[in-house]
Amino acid sequence: MGKRMKLKGRKIFAGKASGEALVTAMGISFFGGVDPHSGVVVEKNHELEGQSIAGKILVFPTGKGSTVGSYTLYRLKSNGKAPSAIINAECETITAVGCIMAEIPCVDQIPVEQLKSGQEIAVDGGKGTVEVLTGDNHAA
């Protein structure tokens, strides 16, 4: 492994988390796209279909879909199935409000294409930083 990669973005919600990254190039709709009881992505033909976001550092370009998605993030947190943190290229209102309600650390304005599933990532929502701790630190 080479040097650690540290990225600086915009603070959406403070808090610190670290863990395994789960990365998709597709937008995520929490309402209808993620089961709030299991944390599994259920959206048909989604790149992450069938995978659990629970406890992961969830990385995706931007959210999509209904404003009920904010409440779905809160339900995920209440059920112990929420991601540990969220990293976006552009955090839209639905995801931002959901992270605030559920107290999930969130950072955006990050070049998400530089991150890969399986990397160990640390997020500091208060500082707006994302650090890749392990894994290949080069874009695919």
Residues tagged active-site: 66
Distances (CA, A) of 87 to 2, 18, 60, 109, 120: 22, 12, 7, 8, 13
d(CA 50, CA 52): 7
For residue 43, the 8-state DSSP code is -
d(CA 123, CA 79): 22
